Structure 1
Amino acid sequence: MVTIVLTGQLQTADGERDLACDLSSPITVRQLIQRQGFQLRHLLQLLREKKVLVTINKKIASEDSLVQDGDAIRLVGHDGMGGSGLGPSHM
């Protein structure tokens, strides 16, 4: 089992912040998020925009890092300037 914790303003489509996922073989963080479907699909865009910090077992990781059974993934929204990265753009 893998746990995913969403922090800051990140949450699932249902407003949850913690998910537990069964995992039979190692996959990337991106694949794990894709596998959650509707619940986390909004995170895929934030990952592409580099607005999500990924950690695996409290170590900085990336969307391409491998996740294994027993890992704890934490996703933190940011904009690279100390903000959440989730609000409207001011450009």
Structure 2
Amino acid sequence: MVTIELLGQLQTVDGERDVAVELTAPVSVRQVIQRQGIQLRHLLQLIREKKVLVTINKKIASDDSLVHDGDAIRLVGHDGFGGSGLGPTHS
């Protein structure tokens, strides 16, 4: 199991801040997020825009970094201004 912790103003579209994901093989952070569908879809764009810091087991990572069973992913939202613009959009 991999845990995803959303920090700062980040949350799922349902307002959750913690997500648990079962993995059978190592995959990238991007793939883990994509597999969660609409719940975390908005995070991919924020990562591309460098508005989210990605860590795996407290080490700085990227959306290409591999995640293994037992890892903890933390996504820390920031927009450079300490303001809004990081929450999920309901489109």
Q: List structure 1 segments (4+ residues) > 2 angstroms apart after TM superposition.
A: 81-87
Stretches of structure 2 that go unaligned for 5 or more consecutive residues are 87-91
User: Residues 29 and 63 of structure 1 are in contact (CA less than 8 Å); yes or no, is this contact kept in structure 2?
Assistant: yes
Instruction: State the shift of 1:84 in Å.
Output: 5.0
CA RMSD of aligned residues (A): 1.4
Within-5 A mapping of 1:26-37: 26-37=26-37
- Classify 1:8/1:62 alpha carbon distance in 2 versus 1 (closer, same or farther; 3 Å): same
Identity of aligned residues (%): 76
Contact 1:56 1:71 in 2 (8 A): yes
Q: Is 1:2–2:10 an aligned residue pair?
A: no
- Do the aligned partners of residues 84 and 32 (structure 1) sit closer, same or farther apart at CA in structure 2, a change above 3 Å counting? farther
Question: Which AA in structure 2 matches 1:86?
Answer: G
User: When the two structures are superposed, what TM-score results if normalisation uses the length of structure 2?
Assistant: 0.88
| Corresponding position of 1:51 | 51
Matched pairs, number: 86
Aligned equivalents of 2:64, 2:72: Cα separation in 1? 15
- The gaps in structure 1 that reach 5 residues or longer are none
